[in-house]
Amino acid sequence: MLVASDALVRAVKLERSVGIPAVVIADDVAIPDQVRLNRFANGLFLTPILHFRDRNIVNPFNIMWFRSAGDRASRLMSASPSHTDKYLWFLALHEAVGSGQELVPPAVMARFVRDGILVRKVPEAPAPQNQ
């Protein structure tokens, strides 16, 4: 069986050009707001698409696999130094997810705030401790 289509040809070209270990979504693919808002309603582990370093990617994490992903990537990087850049990218994504970054394009986030869909909250300063 042979499968050929314009979409498949574009996907292969995109894969060659990105150079990162992720399933990348082409820039011309429209991502519905509800997919982006899912990140805030259900958390990062249940969000299907993340925006990281100017790319829309399929979320490689789930709550069960996330804990071991960073350690495993670090060990693999040590065993395969020729792919260090890719492991460093993945570890940076792991850190971004672990620290709770928005991982939504800045322009989309600004529109959500401007339109009142989301409200930014300023973190409260910790109460001073009596000494």
Q: How confident is the model at residue 114 (pLDDT cuts 50, 70, 90)?
A: very high
pTM comes to: 0.81
Q: Is residue 128 part of a domain?
A: no
Mean pLDDT of 110-115: 96
Read off the pLDDT of residues 18-39 as tens digits, 9 standing for 90 and up: 778 888 888 888 999 999 999 9
pLDDT at 49 > cutoff 70: yes
Distances (CA, A) of 7 to 44, 68, 104: 28, 34, 25
Q: Is residue 110 part of a domain?
A: yes
Could you give the percent of the chain with pLDDT greater than 70?
92
Read off the pLDDT of residues 88-97 as tens digits, 9 standing for 90 and up: 999 999 999 9
Q: Is residue 26 part of a domain?
A: yes
* Residue 56, pLDDT score: 93
Cβ-based burial of 56 (10 A; exposed 0-12, middle 13-18, buried ≥19): buried
* Residue 20, pLDDT score: 83
Q: Is residue 125 part of a domain?
A: no
Residue 121 has, within 13 A of its CA and on its CB side, a CA count of 4
Q: How confident is the model at residue 120 (pLDDT cuts 50, 70, 90)?
A: confident
Query: What domain count does the chain have?
Result: 1
